[in-house]
Amino acid sequence: MAIDQPTTRGHRVYLTRSVPEAGIALLASAGLTIRMNPLPRALTPDELCREVGRYDAVMCQATDRIDESVLEASRPRCRIFANCAVGYDNIDLAAAGRLGIVVTNTPDVLTEATADLTWALMLAAARRVGEAERLVRAGVWRGWNMLDFLGADVYGKTLGIVGAGRIGTAVARRARGFDMKLLYFARSDKPAMAALGAERRTLAEVMEESDFVSVHLSLTRDTRRLIDDRAIRRMKKDAIFINTSRGAIVDQGALATALAQGRIAAAGLDVYLNEPMIPAELMALENVVLLPHIGSATVSTRNRMAQTAAANVVSVLRGEGPLNPVGI
């Protein structure tokens, strides 16, 4: 006797932004009807409210604000919001849980790409790469000068990791090739960090003792503005600050002031408080490398992110449950 197989045929999925073809192909192969936001920007919550109620699943991204109003508007049809990101602070998890809507993310797939990008920022900020390239492109370079663009050594220095999860650990692992001393701040001991020779310290000690401070925390109520003016004032005058996690973890105004006053040497940032807006105070500084949130921006990583989000959609709509559920 034939056994009926779970099917997603006849179900509809809404993509809030464009995604790599690998994710779309997986959805299509499952027989899903796909509709994508045609605009080259994130939709507002009001715009999302007008869309989501007509679909069985929504694939969203970190730039989408999925608040209670959006989740309410998706009922009773929508069963899953699959966030195409490892972080999920853009989604009201409490409301989703109360309404019985599944939320998923894409863990693991962007760890190595983000760690690579962190190192790109560290090296660029330390060696003043942005400043030097701007000089060359402006056509005003006049040849080699022994005193031009003197930066900081990386090899043999102390790297402080704030948040020793998957990405923080991957960043620390790369530091072995630079023979760096490793410190880390976390809520508990991390065996993977200890195996690398890293020492667990308080946040104050990490900020005070490190030549490079790199932030790798999830955004929560406890971590919002964790790196405040007091924390930044603890840093060495020649220290360099890196953030590839979430902009809201850092007091941007305090950081900009410290950079402008020369209280720390430099910074490398890939994330900001109110993206895509970047404060004019930061834009005006030569000693900060500014990137447009590209930590996971490699072809293979973005393909895997889209495929992971799509696989969660297919699994839930088949009645097989989420592959990467998140909740409170």
List the catalytic residues.
246, 275, 293
Alpha carbon dihedral 168, 241, 284, 61, in 10-degree steps, equals 20
**If you count them, how many residues does the chain have?**
328
Task: Give the burial string for 7-27 (b: 16+ CB within 10 Å, else e).
Answer: ebeebbbbbbbebbebbbebb
- Judge whether 165 and 189 are in contact, CB under 8 Å: no
β-pair partners for 58? 14, 81
Cα–Cα distance for residue pair 73/17, rounded to 1 Å = 19
AA letter at 118:
T
Q: Which residues pair with 160 in a beta bridge?
A: 183, 213
CA distance 158 to 322: 41
- What is the helix (H) or strand (E) element at residue 131, kind and residue range? helix 129-137
Phi/psi class of residue 100: alpha, beta or left (left: φ > 0; alpha: ψ in -120 to 50)?
left
Greatest extent of the chain over all pairs of C-alpha atoms, in Å: 82
